[in-house]
Structure 1
Amino acid sequence: MTPRPMINDVTGVLLAGGKSRRMGEDKRFVTVGDKSLFERSLTVLQTVFEKVCVVVAQDTVSVPADVLVLRDLISDCGSLGGIFTGLSLASTPHVFVTACDMPFLDPDAIRYVVESRFGMDIVMPRIFDELQPMHALYGGKCLPAMNKMMQARDLKIHRLISDSSLRVRIIAAKEFSNMDDARRSFLNVNTPMDLQSARTIEPSRGPARE
């Protein structure tokens, strides 16, 4: 099968903040299969996008990567601050944002979100009856709304979709039904139990690197 061309007008942004409060350890570096969560997510983005960057918190240890690593422009604003940073500094009009705790990202699911961007400021799937802001696309017109939210300390990303100034497309779960692994693309690892479940799906073939 001929490889699909890489996307060059959207930047892939990987949020790797490093807080990991519910995990109890830095989840960026725990392994699923034979790679760390960070490596798994970054590798997938690099197969889809020509331009990829990583965003980390101002007060956390950075990550080794062969792409640009950015620190949050505004501190202590969680994932919203990470999206704001990536979108502010990207050289493309849109960014696709995901988090490093999603070990089974599916390139086809990512491409479907990105290919739904035309005329839109936000493209966000709704899977498992929940919006998926960490597997979504954001355009530059979101920046004023994001900045306003951060100034008000309203950090819930999904509230962006109610901003009347933004054009929003919500992708229903059924739109991914013809993709075998699409639903796994939205699974994340926040707790030790989540990690155990992920390792059941893809066990390591060698000694785990903790």
Structure 2
Amino acid sequence: MNVTGVVLAGGKSRRMGEDKRFLTVGEETLLARTTSVMAQLFSEVLVIIAQDSPPLTVSGCIVHRDLIADCGSLGGLYTGLARATEPRVFVVACDMPFLNPDMIQWFVDRDPAADIVMARLPAGLQPLHALYSKRALPVLERMAITHALKIQQIASEPSLHTTVVLPAEWGERDPRAQSFQNVNTPADLDAARAALRNRSLPQ
């Protein structure tokens, strides 16, 4: 597909109070749930961690440390794009327990000419379930240098062709928007576990 899968796993988990990568939803850790879905789709999967993170080994994935320190998710995205051997990446966060392979494939196929394919949610743009081309690298570098770290801002960059996917489109595939769900707090974790239990109940 000329796309590398990128999983951002370098967060500080400040709101969770412990390393959320290794918290479980169902029988798998958040990190394992995420990387297993990405490995179904992409022959190359990169896991990006912070410069000061302890060493991490992830089966079937290549782990890289951030090339730019202290730039959060934007630095991780920049690193994933720079290290990818393919011209495009699909990037997700490691704390997204309900990634859907069919939804990701649909995003990848949505606009082959686009530099960025990003969903609009009711709360705004979601930059961490999105496709980016290497043409975004200089823009991300400039954003990092100026410390403009909100990745969503790249969607308005005139030098890049961005396709914004509206709820009317992605909603047909995921009406509850679970693909975009993050686990940032203990309450989020409880909600994700409850949602998984509800999925398992007979209808």
TM-score by length of 2: 0.93
Q: Which one of 55, 65, 68 corresponds to residue 62 of structure 1?
A: 55
1:153 counterpart (139, 147, 160)? 147
**Which residue identity is paired with 2:66?**
D
Task: Give the corresponding residue for 1:207.
Answer: none
Does the CA contact (< 8 Å) of 2:46 and 2:80 recur in 1? yes
Q: Which of the numbers 24, 34, 52 marks the counterpart of 2:17? A: 24
Mapped partners of 2:175, 2:57: distance in 1: 28
Paired amino acid for 1:43: S
1:133 pairs with 2:127? yes
Q: Which whole-Å deviations, capped at 9, do the CAs of 1:84-131 have from their partners, x for residues lacking one?
A: 001001111100000011000011111111112311111001123421
In structure 1, what is the equivalent of residue 157 of structure 2?
163
Secondary structure of 1:133's aligned partner: strand
> In the TM superposition, what is the alpha-carbon distance from 1:182 to its structure 2 partner?
6.9
Identity score, percent: 49
2:190 corresponds, among 192, 196, 207, to: 196
Whole-angstrom distance in 1 between the partners of 2:158 and 2:185: 35
Q: Hey, what's the Cα distance between the residues in 2 that align with 1:192 and 1:12?
A: 27
Superposed CA deviations along residues 104-160 of structure 1, whole A, max 9, x for unmatched, are: 001111111111231111100112342110000010110111000100011010000
After superposition, the Cα gap between the structure-2 partners of 1:180 and 1:145, relative to the gap in structure 1 and judged at 3 Å, is closer
Structure 2's unaligned 5+ residue stretches are: 198-203
Matched, 1:73 2:67: yes
How big is the alpha-carbon RMSD for the aligned residues of Structure 1 and Structure 2? 1.3
Number of residue pairs the alignment of both structures matches = 196
Q: 5 Å matches for 1:57-136?
A: 57-66=50-59, 67-136=61-130
- Over 6 Å off, 4+ runs: none
Does the CA-based 8 Å contact 2:11-2:72 persist in structure 1?
no
Question: Cα distance 1:16–1:105, how it changes in 2: closer, same or farther (>3 A)?
Answer: same
Alpha-carbon distance in structure 2 between the residues aligned to 1:44 and 1:17: 19
TM-score, normalization by structure 1: 0.90
Return the letter of the residue paired with 1:54: V
